[in-house]
Amino acid sequence: MYNYLLYLAYLNKKLEGFFNEQSEYIVCKKGCSKCCQNGKYPFSQIEFRFIMLGYSKLSAEIQEQISQKVKKIQAEKLNSNSINFVYECPFLINNECCVYDFRGIICRSFGLMSINTKGNSKIPFCAFEGLNYSNVLNPETKIISQEKFEKSGCKNEPLAFNVGYEFLTSENIEKNFKITFGDKKPLIDWFDLS
Ligand code: SF4
Ligand code: SF4
């Protein structure tokens, strides 16, 4: 776990730099939790162990709320035929992440434009809801508009970074930081309440 913490410290710093550089396009703020309301939230084993450490520090009352949410989501998932089942994160309580310092890697990078393993850039969904990058997005073509950028008066170009989940949890990272991520699956599938 110690090496994982070192990796998180490195990642936080790196992401902070990216968010600062892109600040003209970023409107993330406390209370905005759209990105925690409809997702799959891929988590590796080590990330789940870490977030459960955060869970262990919560009050019994909040833990109970999370357990109830988990049960409800798992039942809904079981009844759903969709392989794209999405849900509100069980750690979102009163519109805030109750395990913020222990949150997953995907939670830390979300909001930036990322580059996927095929080299394509991905715009965060909230751009289409008037949030991050919406000031330079062409909603019809679904791409960043050069024209809007030129008119925006923004100094830094809108850029996509290599912050896709696969890259941030890749074998290279495991090798460089001497960590093992372990299995990866949607957050909700890690809970065993039986
Ligand atoms: S990434 Fe988007 S949805 Fe999430 S906090 Fe930032 S602005 Fe809100
Ligand atoms: S762990 Fe926290 S930041 Fe991550 S999706 Fe859940 S509520 Fe949001």
The 10s digit of each residue's pLDDT in 28-37 is 998 899 999 9
- Bridge-based pairing of strands 121-122 and 113-115 is antiparallel
Q: Which stretches in the chain have pLDDT values below 50?
A: none
The confidence score (pLDDT) of residue 128 equals 95
Query: How far is CA 85 from each of CA 20, 38, 54, 169, rounded to the nearest angstrom?
Result: 33, 9, 25, 22
Cα of 26 vs centre of ligand 1, distance in Å, is 8
Distance between CA atoms of residues 97 and 58, nearest Å: 12
Distance between CA atoms of residues 54 and 99, nearest Å: 5
Domain ranges of the chain: 2-183
Ligand 1 pocket, 11 CB below 6 A?
Answer: no
Ligand 2 pocket, 8 CB below 6 A?
Answer: no
Distance between CA atoms of residues 123 and 115, nearest Å: 9
Q: Which atom of ligand 2 is nearest to the CA of 33?
A: 8
Residue 167 is encoded by which pair of tokens? 């890259």
The confidence score (pLDDT) of residue 125 equals 95
Q: Are 41 and 89 in contact (CB under 8 A)?
A: yes
Residue 49 is encoded by which pair of tokens? 């162990």
The confidence score (pLDDT) of residue 194 equals 58
